[in-house]
Chain A
Amino acid sequence: MTIVGTFPSQLFLAAPRRAIDESQRQLAEAQVEATTGRHADMGIALGARTGSAVGLRLDLAATAQAKETAEQAGVRASAAQAALSSLNGLAEQFRATLSGARSAENGRILAANAARSALGALRDQLSASYDGQYIFSGLAGDRAPLADYGEGPRTAVIAAFSARFGFAPDDPAAAALDAAQLTDFAETEFAALFEDSSWRQTWSSAVDTSPQVRVGGGQPLGLSTTANAPFARSLAQAFSLIETLGSGKIGAAAFQAAAQTALARLGQAQSSISAEQARIGIAQNSLSSAAAALDDRKAKLETAIGALEGVDPYEAATRVNTLMAQLQSSYALTGRISRMSLLDYI
């Protein structure tokens, strides 16, 4: 800096004036930083790293959304599990009723009534819904999975019986049928009603694929099953066999044979239910570990955002104090210099 001859009066106060200007600007920033714990001007502080901050915040928001999805999927899976447990109970109960009733007097009527209400319960349980969608309908969640037994399936069963024997179950001629004939019917024509194509035609409106959950766009998890799964068919088979034949006119021995078949189907249904429950349970397990991973990820993202955007509030508070002291000395200096003049002495 060249100092030539004079020092202009204009510059006397320039230094403290600029210092005040700068200190006040910094003080405003430091105050914001001390109170918010973030940079006062994020863009200037981060520059090109702003992109990372924006990206991290997007990830953070996505994590919150994924957590929500995971929670809702969990509720849905629990609803499916609860329905399956009820169905298992239903099978258990019907097995007890049937075992007691098959040898008792009037047992057939009792069993047939129990089967009728079990068919209703089966339909009710499979109609469990979540958020307006039938859980067991697969992707076709807007349709009830199982038809009302009285409206089609029963007619189909009776038609199959008539086709085999030439008369309906409630025809007196039915009393003449023996156990072997009935067992054969139950395992061929009757069983065929529950094969894929007729099952879909008469009983079920569900589709095989069930909705999947991707937590945060990750690996898809199947958290439910459909009314087309073996357990539903086996239960329907057991219940409808007893309902149709029990209310008919077949002989005691033949009914025993039918009950035998029904009991076997109940066993199959129960093991299918536990298989499904186990499968859903595994998926639920994956879901909760995914949710835990999300919590972990959220914490890490928050740390990363804090590291990028944050300032140490204590440091900022200290800065506020320093700046205030600086400002005060600038004010004092300005006051003193402005009072200093040769004019006071001449």
Chain B
Amino acid sequence: MATLSSALNYALAGLSVSAAQSALTARNVSSAGDENYTRKTAEIRTLPGGAPAVAGIGRSTDRQLLDKLLQSTSDSAGKEVVLDALGRMAALSADPADDQSVAAAIGKLQQALRTHEANPANLALAQGAVTAADALARKLNDASAALQALRSEADAGLAGSAERINTLLAQFKVANDAIVRGQGTAGELAESLDRRDAILKHLSEEIGIRTTVRANNDMVIHAEGGAVLFEGSARSVGVASQGTLAPGEDGGALLIDGVAVTGSNAPMPASSGRAAAYATLRDRLAPQMSRQFDMIAAGLIRAFSERDQGAPPTLPDAEGLFLGTGTIPSTTAPQAGLAGRIRLNPLAEATAGGTPMRLRDGGFGGPSFIYNRAGLSGFQTRIAALGDALDQAQGFGEAAGIGGTVSVKALSTQSSAWVEGQRQAARSALDVAAANQTRASDSLLQVTGVNIDQEMAKLLDLEKSYQASSKVLAIVDAMLSTLMEAVRS
């Protein structure tokens, strides 16, 4: 039977529900700017006997949208790393107008040779050609060193990424354990779930992940490709140690629980996220461009090499204006790092006891290699041939993305084309990935986000019901007083 005291109980329950809801609303409003916060709602249940009570706290979220966000985050984080690196690689060949590319240096050398050809006896012109050759060799050295530095940075980036994955997985374990054990109040549990999702977002920047949820809300994380990153406990992530990062050799692979996930032989390859991007950069993009410069260096050494001028010739060809490893390199498979070793032959430098006139006369390889046998001051044949050699087709390998039967000069322009082509493609891929990420993030935010206006409106509502419950209390109190008065009198 309903009594005045039960009315009092209902009113009190109403007050406590309103207070709990107000607290949640305040929490929602205070976290409206946190993109990892999910909007919380009180689940109200009617207790046996009819009084309302807060039975639980609801989180509005959407697993599918979150998965989509995680994927697009990995995708765009990786592509950002690649585009940034390609930008630095492209700076090596620079804007066509800047005259700073290897191609421009080859062009300058050729012009210097043509000018020298018009007046072979002029020492200053010979010196000009030698200086241009020196600048070209140094440009190749610098480019090679810059690419090697880029590889080292990518290697460090990969190690850093692995470390960050480990840290995040450790944090993840704390949040996941709390969830599985159901520790704390309903509010604290919801916070743990938020934190767990937030960690996933950070993790997905480093490596592509897939998540599955098991009983007790326990989450398992797989890396892209299938390697387990977290299942009850975190798996250790590291980089296989490789000693020094030698030119032409791949660096250590990213290991998850001892299994390689990057590199050509990875059984379970990961392709998105920063870690994979660093590995691609270190083992594929930078080495590919290095190989291109090695090919250019090999082509130059070959173009300037000397032939035995005896009749019949007996000696093998010798290195001329440019020195590499002491032998004439193969242009199809040049030695890795050749571009870093190519240098001007000191025999062409007056300061090193040589003479630039060797350009005209030949003889870098010894007396048998002297072209200007008659010692004519106006001997043009050799200089003309050297200038032409830069335009003569040689057979280059095609493994580095450029090559074929082309001249060294054409090969160098191909290299510029290659890197800018890659950069253009990377830029549009990143644009797409970034747009996808924005869309996924917006979609998820529309589910999880807080609208302050709405919360305020709800607060007005709660204020009303709080006032009503308070009023009920006052009225019941008045009624009870009236009853007491009646009994007393």
Q: Which residues of A contact B (CB under 8 A)?
A: 1-11, 14, 18, 38, 42-44, 46-58, 61-62, 65-66, 68-69, 72-73, 131-133, 137-143, 207, 211-214, 216-217, 305, 309, 341-343, 346
Q: Considering the complex of A and B, which 3 residue pairs feature the smallest CB-CB distances, nearest first?
A: A8-B449, A51-B417, A47-B424
| Distance in Å: Cβ of A53 to nearest Cβ of chain B | 4
Is B114 a contact partner of A217 (Cβ separation < 8 A)?
Answer: yes
Chain B contacts for A50, CB-based, 8 A? 93, 96, 416-417, 419-421
Is A133 a contact partner of B32 (Cβ separation < 8 A)?
Answer: no
Chain A contacts for B166, CB-based, 8 A? none
Given A4-B446, A8-B451, 13 other A-B contacts at CB below 8 A?
A: A4-B447, A8-B445, A8-B450, A10-B450, A42-B97, A51-B420, A52-B417, A56-B96, A131-B122, A211-B380, A217-B387, A343-B452, A346-B460
Interface residue? B425 (CB, 8 A): yes
| Distance in Å: Cβ of A26 to nearest Cβ of chain B | 13
List 12 A-B pairs, Cβ < 8 Å. A2-B443, A6-B449, A8-B450, A9-B452, A44-B424, A44-B427, A48-B420, A51-B415, A57-B99, A62-B107, A73-B118, A139-B379
Q: How far is the CA of A137 from the CA of B376 in the complex (A)?
A: 10
| Distance in Å: Cβ of B392 to nearest Cβ of chain A | 11
Is B114 a contact partner of A7 (Cβ separation < 8 A)?
Answer: no
Interface residue? B409 (CB, 8 A): yes
Is B117 a contact partner of A214 (Cβ separation < 8 A)?
Answer: yes
Contact with A along B411-441 (1 / 0, CB 8 A): 0111111111101110100000000001100
Chain B contacts for A309, CB-based, 8 A? 96-97
Chain A contacts for B446, CB-based, 8 A? 1-4, 6-8, 11
Chain A contacts for B447, CB-based, 8 A? 2, 4-5
Is A133 a contact partner of B376 (Cβ separation < 8 A)?
Answer: no
Kindly state the interface size class of chain B when it binds its partner: 35 or more
Chain B contacts for A341, CB-based, 8 A? 452-453
Is A10 a contact partner of B97 (Cβ separation < 8 A)?
Answer: no
Chain B contacts for A52, CB-based, 8 A? 413, 417
Chain B contacts for A72, CB-based, 8 A? 118-119
Is A48 a contact partner of B452 (Cβ separation < 8 A)?
Answer: no
| Distance in Å: Cβ of B197 to nearest Cβ of chain A | 16
Closest partner residue, chain A, to B377 (CB atom): A142
Q: How far is the CA of A56 from the CA of B413 in the complex (A)?
A: 10
Is A42 a contact partner of B119 (Cβ separation < 8 A)?
Answer: no
Contact with A along B258-278 (1 / 0, CB 8 A): 000000000000000000000
Chain B contacts for A68, CB-based, 8 A? 115
Count A-B contacts at CB 8 Å: 194
Is A214 a contact partner of B376 (Cβ separation < 8 A)?
Answer: no
Contact with A along B287-319 (1 / 0, CB 8 A): 000000000000000000000000000000000
Closest partner residue, chain A, to B65 (CB atom): A2
| Distance in Å: Cβ of A303 to nearest Cβ of chain B | 15
Closest partner residue, chain A, to B425 (CB atom): A47
Is A139 a contact partner of B378 (Cβ separation < 8 A)?
Answer: yes
Interface residue? B384 (CB, 8 A): yes
Q: How far is the CA of A7 from the CA of B442 in the complex (A)?
A: 10
Interface residue? B348 (CB, 8 A): no
Give the secondary structure class of B's interface.
Answer: helix
Q: How far is the CA of A30 from the CA of B413 in the complex (A)?
A: 27
Partner of A342 from B118, B410, B450, B453 at Cβ < 8 Å: B453
Interface residue? B454 (CB, 8 A): yes
Q: Which residues of B contact A (CB under 8 A)?
A: 32-33, 35, 39, 60, 62, 65, 90, 93, 95-97, 99, 101, 103-104, 106-108, 110-111, 114-115, 117-122, 374, 376-380, 384, 387-388, 391, 409-410, 412-421, 423-425, 427, 438-439, 442-443, 445-454, 456-457, 460
Chain A contacts for B39, CB-based, 8 A? 6, 8
Is B96 a contact partner of A57 (Cβ separation < 8 A)?
Answer: yes
Give the secondary structure class of A's interface.
Answer: helix
Partner of A138 from B104, B107, B378, B457 at Cβ < 8 Å: B378
Q: How far is the CA of A131 from the CA of B124 in the complex (A)?
A: 11
Chain B contacts for A214, CB-based, 8 A? 114, 117, 384
Is A54 a contact partner of B104 (Cβ separation < 8 A)?
Answer: yes
Chain B contacts for A49, CB-based, 8 A? 417, 420
Chain A contacts for B424, CB-based, 8 A? 43-44, 46-48
Partner of A69 from B99, B118, B451 at Cβ < 8 Å: B118
| Distance in Å: Cβ of B227 to nearest Cβ of chain A | 32
Is B121 a contact partner of A133 (Cβ separation < 8 A)?
Answer: yes
Closest partner residue, chain B, to A9 (CB atom): B452
| Distance in Å: Cβ of B24 to nearest Cβ of chain A | 14
Is B417 a contact partner of A65 (Cβ separation < 8 A)?
Answer: no
Contact status of A216 and B423, CB under 8 A, knowing A51-B417, A55-B413: no
Is A47 a contact partner of B378 (Cβ separation < 8 A)?
Answer: no
Partner of A61 from B107, B421, B442 at Cβ < 8 Å: B107
| Distance in Å: Cβ of B100 to nearest Cβ of chain A | 11
Chain A contacts for B412, CB-based, 8 A? 54
Is A6 a contact partner of B114 (Cβ separation < 8 A)?
Answer: no
Is B95 a contact partner of A42 (Cβ separation < 8 A)?
Answer: yes
Q: How far is the CA of A38 from the CA of B453 in the complex (A)?
A: 49
Q: How far is the CA of A131 from the CA of B117 in the complex (A)?
A: 13
Closest partner residue, chain B, to A56 (CB atom): B96
Chain A contacts for B103, CB-based, 8 A? 54-55, 58
Most buried by B among A6, A137, A216: A6
Contact status of A6 and B122, CB under 8 A, knowing A43-B90, A54-B93: no
Chain B contacts for A66, CB-based, 8 A? 114
Closest partner residue, chain A, to B391 (CB atom): A217
Contact status of A9 and B32, CB under 8 A, knowing A1-B443, A47-B425: yes
Most buried by B among A5, A51, A214, A217: A51
Q: How far is the CA of A175 from the CA of B414 in the complex (A)?
A: 83
Q: How far is the CA of A7 from the CA of B414 in the complex (A)?
A: 51
| Distance in Å: Cβ of A212 to nearest Cβ of chain B | 7
| Distance in Å: Cβ of A98 to nearest Cβ of chain B | 36
Is A141 a contact partner of B110 (Cβ separation < 8 A)?
Answer: no
Q: How far is the CA of A58 from the CA of B390 in the complex (A)?
A: 12
